[in-house]
Structure 1
Amino acid sequence: MPVTALVSAKSCGVTTAALALTLASKRPSLLAECDPAGGTIRAGFLQQEVGAGFGLYHLAAAQRTGPDALAQAFASHLWPMDEAGHRKLLPGLTDPAQAAAMDRSWTSLAEVMHVLAEEAGYDVLIDAGRLALQSGQLHPLLTPAPLLHQADLVLLVVRGTEQSLTLARHVIDPLRTELAERGSGPDALGLLLIEDGPYRAHQVAEALKTPVLAGLPLDAATADYFMSGGRPPRGYGRSLLLRHARTATEQVEAAASRRRIQQQYPARPANPQLAGVLQRLSERGGPRG
């Protein structure tokens, strides 16, 4: 199953898109909220149901102990977003100042996510937030660069508006170069189009010289529920956003599969300790289970 990182040049709906893809997946899925600027799902969609003693920041201390401790901590900090526990969230930072503590943890965290995807069969979505550049490269503190480097796909979330395309043009070449030089290759980069504005998918792809791998409609009611929580809108389970998100997850998986075949990726060496810990995630619902 793919590990997919979502990023943007500016606020384009990364968190809403990541939530939609996670909740719409036909398989067990995980959303890892890894925006160094801080997470919003805890206070919004989850309505403060998850306290500050839970989530991404607490994995940094475990990482210093070793990979098995990190996997144990990772498993214990995943929060179920449905009754069956098939949709899980790794809540993000509660304070941007915590991002500095994560600097040495991103690489190990990426390994854990890949084991969860490949050994436990999860769709893993990473909300990496807004891209920050420094001297033409990903900023080492303001962007979780190792997560992007190791992702199967990196989706730049854009809207079909002139403003969004203008902002995306400034970051897409540095991002492509970064993936070519430090990641798994420039072909890991694709676009996720939020269908807002006059430009259609083929026009966006041509403007940014990058394929549109999936699209999501502008669904204000469902997006507001994802950002603010509370009572779901009427017909939420059949909403336009979730229906299109189900198709989008299939398109993303197909793109990752094509890329894997084209690149003839060798199998990642399995870490039995990590696999054993994370496999147990499929046997329980999480902290509330």
Structure 2
Amino acid sequence: MPVTALVSAKSAGVTTSALALALASGRPTTLAECDPAGGTIRSGLLQNEVGAGYGLYHLAQAERVGPDALAQAFASHVWPLDGDGHRQLLPGLTDPAQAAALGRTWPSLAQIMRVLADRAGQNVFIDAGRLALDAGRLHSTLTPAPMLHQADLVLLVVRGTDQSLTLARYLVDPLRAELAEHGSGPDALGLLLIESGPYRAHQVAESLKLPVLAALPFDAESAAYLSQGGQQPRRWARSPLLQHARTAAQQLEAVAARRQVQREYAPQPASEQLAGVLDRLNRRRRGGPRG
């Protein structure tokens, strides 16, 4: 199953979208709230049911002990998002100042996400929050870059408005470069469109030169429930947001599967020695000089 990271240029519904995808997924799912600016699910949807003793920050100390300690800490710090435990949450930071302690933890946590996806067959979603740049590259502290590197898909969450597209446009090239150098390739990057504003999916894709891999409707009532908690809306299971999120989760699985097949069967570049032999053979066929 894929690891899918969600990011944005500014608040565009990343956490709400990640929650909707996690809750709508038809498979066992883990949502990791990895926004260095701090998590909001604890005080929102969960209504402070989860105390500060749970969550992402506590993994930093365990990581310094070793891989086994980190794996055990992770297992003890996830929280169920549903009654049967098929969907679980790693709650985020309670204080943005805690982000500096996670520099060493991100790569190891990214490996845990890969194990959950590859061996446990889970759908994994990462709420990476608002991206921060430093000299045209992802900021080493304010962005969980290793979580993006290990992801099968990185979704830039945008709305169909001029403001959202303008802000997102400055992130496209740095993200492509980052994924080309450290991730699974620049084609891992795509868009998740929140259908709010005048621009439709094809216009958004053309504007940002990226494919829209999934879209979610602007469903104010359902979004308010996911971001603030409280009384679950009537007909929640049939709400537009949850219904479209189910379709979106399936689409993302399919895209990730296609990318995996393409990577496995992509032609491998020839070595320099083999390239030289082929070049000499071609020149002989053309009657050129034999070096």
Which residue type is aligned with residue 86 of structure 1?
H
SS in structure 2 of the partner of residue 230 of structure 1: coil
Corresponding position: 1:185 with 2:188: no
Any runs of at least 4 consecutive aligned residues in structure 1 with deviations exceeding 3 A, and if so which?
Answer: none
* Match of residue 38 from structure 1: 38
How far is 1:214 from its partner?
Answer: 0.4
CA deviations 1:161-206 (Å, max 9, x no partner) are 1111000111111111111112111011010000011111111111
How far is 1:143 from its partner?
Answer: 0.2
* Match of residue 270 from structure 1: none
* Match of residue 97 from structure 2: 97
How far is 1:116 from its partner?
Answer: 0.8
Which residue type is aligned with residue 109 of structure 1?
L
CA deviations 1:16-71 (Å, max 9, x no partner) are 00000000000000110000000000001000000001000000011111111111
Q: Distance in 2 between matches of 1:213 and 1:67?
A: 34
Corresponding position: 1:249 with 2:245: no
Q: Distance in 1 between matches of 2:185 and 2:265?
A: 12
SS in structure 1 of the partner of residue 57 of structure 2: helix
* Match of residue 118 from structure 1: 118
Q: Distance in 1 between matches of 2:264 and 2:21?
A: 26
How far is 1:265 from its partner?
Answer: 8.0
Q: 1:105 to 1:261 in 2, by over 3 A?
A: same
* Match of residue 62 from structure 2: 62
Query: Alpha carbon RMSD of aligned pairs, Å?
Result: 1.0
- Give the structure-2-normalised TM-score: 0.90
How far is 1:98 from its partner?
Answer: 0.2
Q: Distance in 1 between matches of 2:185 and 2:39?
A: 28
Within-5 A mapping of 1:202-213: 202-213=202-213
Q: Distance in 1 between matches of 2:112 and 2:67?
A: 8
- Give the structure-1-normalised TM-score: 0.91
Q: Distance in 2 between matches of 1:3 and 1:167?
A: 25
Q: Distance in 2 between matches of 1:129 and 1:54?
A: 19
Q: Distance in 1 between matches of 2:92 and 2:225?
A: 18
SS in structure 2 of the partner of residue 154 of structure 1: strand
Gaps (5+ residues) in structure 1? 267-289
SS in structure 1 of the partner of residue 155 of structure 2: strand
Which residue type is aligned with residue 120 of structure 1?
A
* Match of residue 51 from structure 1: 51
SS in structure 2 of the partner of residue 140 of structure 1: coil
SS in structure 2 of the partner of residue 10 of structure 1: coil
* Match of residue 283 from structure 1: none
SS in structure 2 of the partner of residue 35 of structure 1: coil
- Indicate the larger mover: 156-165 or 174-183: 174-183
Within-5 A mapping of 1:1-289: 1-264=1-264
How far is 1:233 from its partner?
Answer: 1.1
Q: 1:79 to 1:135 in 2, by over 3 A?
A: same
Q: Distance in 2 between matches of 1:43 and 1:78?
A: 16
Which residue type is aligned with residue 213 of structure 1?
L
Which residue type is aligned with residue 77 of structure 1?
H
Gaps (5+ residues) in structure 2? 267-291
Q: Distance in 2 between matches of 1:76 and 1:121?
A: 20
- Indicate the larger mover: 111-120 or 124-133: 111-120
Q: Distance in 2 between matches of 1:4 and 1:167?
A: 22
- Indicate the larger mover: 33-42 or 195-204: 195-204
CA deviations 1:230-256 (Å, max 9, x no partner) are 111111111000000000000100110
Which residue type is aligned with residue 173 of structure 1?
D
SS in structure 2 of the partner of residue 158 of structure 1: strand
Q: Distance in 2 between matches of 1:118 and 1:96?
A: 31
